[in-house]
Amino acid sequence: MDNVFIPLRMLNEFIYCPRLFWLEFVDGQFTDSEDTIRGRFVHRNVDKSKPLHNEIEIGKTARSVTLYSEKYGISGKLDLLEMENGSVSPVEYKSGNMGKDGTPWDTDLYQTVAQVILLNDNGYKCNKGYVYYDRNRKRIEIIISDELVESTLSKISEVKELLNGETIPPPLVDSPKCIRCSLATICLPDETKYLSSGNFSDVRRLYPARDNAYPMYVREQGATIGKKNNQLIVKGKETSSTANFMDISSLSVFGNVQITTQALHELIHRNIPVCYFSLSGWFYGITTGNYNKNGELRVSQYQTSIDIQKSLSISKSIVAGKIKNSRTLLRRNGKPENKNALMELQTLIEKTATSVTSQELLGIEGNAARIYFARFPTMLKQQFKYDFESRNRRPPTDPVNALLSYVYSLLVKDVTVSLIVVGLDPYVGFFHKMKYGKPSLALDLMEEYRSIVGDSVVLGLINNSIIKESDFIHSGKSVAIEENARKKVIQYYENRMDTLIRHPLFGYTTSYRRTMEVQARLLSRCITGEINEYIPLTTR
């Protein structure tokens, strides 16, 4: 990346935390926090309003000045320039507080010095700069010295060296910086440190426990989805509804639903994925923005997929996790006569650790599925004739299989979204082999969620009489879910995904939906070698 211009705001991020710099600049990852939102508000004032401090009005000023330096390989958008007596001084605006004893933070100091270097290289005369702290309503003058310039250029060289190294820096250890960092849920500093070193210390809480935004579903046939200001507008034949873009995590449309170009552009701009389903619930496509720009992660994924031993190691974890969760669900909800089945499943879990080929592992998984679904009826209350004997699909031939297929379709959609957000290719897996049109990696990651989310939803719908026999349509040998009943299924599924659990490995409370992205990120860490093994989410 020798020819890349380093934005000065990224220099600020590098000094704060090299890993944060990598995630934003290389991976293209970003999420908002209170601090970042406030920062944008303050800079909006700089760009559009009068200066926030009367001293800035001295002499002439210029706002939002963008400059480049070929010599140093840096670029920057300077908040404000003061011009007086033939020289200029940059003023960098910050939303927070100044450092101790009224000094600027190192991140702000180096960023301001870099602005002076940039100005001088572009022919301006500049020997000082300022940092304005909005919370203190005060600015600090920085007099430029040769030592400061040399130290700043050294930091710029460190940034370029990091980029050329092509390896993500390790997370900070027990740093208070992580608590307020907007990328903490992406970086996973404590989780990564624990899994890479094995040295346990308290893993700090993942905040918030639930996402602030939620999936949106549009099922009404003939409905049109449009945009007005900051809202998504859904207009049907008889009804209409609105939702703020900031409250939407994904949009799923079923069958004949139209989306205007303006709405689609806004969804892409905000990185809100649009998922497309057939009317019956078959997930067949997704529209996304540029979530992740790190092609090297996907190269590592492709290399891992053809690395027999590494691929097998991940596959063994995936299969063991799936069988453990299936066994747990059967133990909790089944009948006493399932004792032998539970023993058989435990034996198969142990066999996954000693399996030496993917074909052997496939046989273990198939045997486990056969045992589990043979005992699946013991978890169902006899409230209607479900005729369930074994798992079948395309088309399902009984109500239980119809529910399982529909819920699994919702589940694979959410797993696919999580993988795309992280930057992985959902079509190149490790346990499920590549096949045209088959989201192999999504099916891999989905395995640990099949029973604890998917099957649990089906059991709840039937055993709590939310879905009844009249909610199914029989056509020849196939069975489908009636239209109004599908809404109940989606609602119950979303309630399950929003359920808070205590993470079995890290100890904090979080929702199933949040764990899905965490698992996708941990899988990416395993693929790149940052952690030693992939550990699936399993419940006790």
Q: What is the pLDDT of residue 448?
A: 95
For 244-264, how does the pLDDT look when each residue is reduced to its tens digit (9 = 90+)? 988 888 898 988 899 999 999
Q: Is the peptide bond prior to 208 cis by the omega test (within 30 degrees of 0)?
A: yes
Q: Which of 320, 397, 305, 393 is nearest to 355 (CA)?
A: 320
In a domain, 201, yes or no: no
In a domain, 534, yes or no: no
Is pLDDT of 522 > 60?
A: yes
Amino acid, single-letter form, for residue 495? N
Indicate whether 72 and 96 sit together in one domain.
yes
Q: Among 32-41, 102-111, 238-247, where is mean pLDDT lowest?
A: 32-41
Concatenate the DSSP letters of all residues of 50-91 into one string: --SSGGGGSSEEEEEEEEEETTTTEEEEEEEEEEETTEEEEE
Concatenate the DSSP letters of all residues of 381-438 into one string: -SSS-----S---SS--SHHHHHHHHHHHHHHHHHHHHHHHHT--TT--SSSPP-TT-
Place of tokens 């082999």: 433
Indicate whether 145 and 259 sit together in one domain.
no
Q: What is the pLDDT of residue 504?
A: 87
Question: In a 3-state reduction of DSSP, which class is residue 296?
Answer: helix
H or E element at residue 227: strand 224-228
In a domain, 349, yes or no: yes
Q: Where residue 454 falls among pLDDT bands split at 50, 70, 90?
A: very high
In a domain, 211, yes or no: no
Indicate whether 225 and 330 sit together in one domain.
no
Contact 217, 493 (CB under 8 A): no
Indicate whether 244 and 282 sit together in one domain.
yes
Sign of CA dihedral 55, 60, 61, 66: negative
For the chain, the residue count is: 540
Indicate whether 503 and 520 sit together in one domain.
yes
Which of residues 130, 165, 187 is at a domain's end? 187
Question: Domain holding 250: CATH number?
Answer: 3.100.10.20
Indicate whether 452 and 408 sit together in one domain.
yes
3 state SS for 433-494: CCCCCCCHHHHHHHHHHHHHHHHHHHHHHHHCCCCCHHHEEEECCEEEECHHHHHHHHHHHH
Indicate whether 378 and 251 sit together in one domain.
no
Domain membership of residue 505 as a residue range: 295-528
Q: What is the pLDDT of residue 93?
A: 86
Strands 128-133 and 87-94: parallel
In a domain, 119, yes or no: yes
Indicate whether 134 and 166 sit together in one domain.
yes
Q: Which tokens belong to 391? A: 């798992």
DSSP 291: -
Mean pLDDT: which of 239-243, 256-260, 380-384 is highest? 256-260
In a domain, 281, yes or no: yes
User: How many folded domains does the chain comprise?
Assistant: 3
Q: Which residues pair with 82 in a beta bridge?
A: 61, 89
Q: Which tokens belong to 531? A: 């952690």
DSSP 357: S
Q: Among 23-27, 42-46, 76-80, 535-539, where is mean pLDDT lowest?
A: 42-46
Mean pLDDT: which of 295-299, 320-324, 335-339 is highest? 320-324
How confident is the model over 210-220, as a mean pLDDT?
A: 83
Is pLDDT of 371 > 80?
A: yes
Contact 67, 57 (CB under 8 A): no
Q: What is the pLDDT of residue 2?
A: 53
Distance CA 516, CA 448 (A): 10
Which of residues 237, 268, 287 is at a domain's end? 287
Question: Domain holding 74: CATH number?
Answer: 3.90.320.10
In a domain, 265, yes or no: yes
Indicate whether 159 and 26 sit together in one domain.
yes
Indicate whether 316 and 345 sit together in one domain.
yes
For 261-288, how does the pLDDT look when each residue is reduced to its tens digit (9 = 90+)? 999 999 988 888 898 988 877 887 888 8
Distance CA 100, CA 372 (A): 61
In a domain, 171, yes or no: yes
Q: What is the pLDDT of residue 206?
A: 67
Contact 436, 430 (CB under 8 A): no
Is pLDDT of 406 > 80?
A: yes
Question: Domain holding 379: CATH number?
Answer: 1.20.120.920
Which of residues 287, 310, 344 is at a domain's end? 287
Indicate whether 171 and 232 sit together in one domain.
no
Indicate whether 272 and 382 sit together in one domain.
no
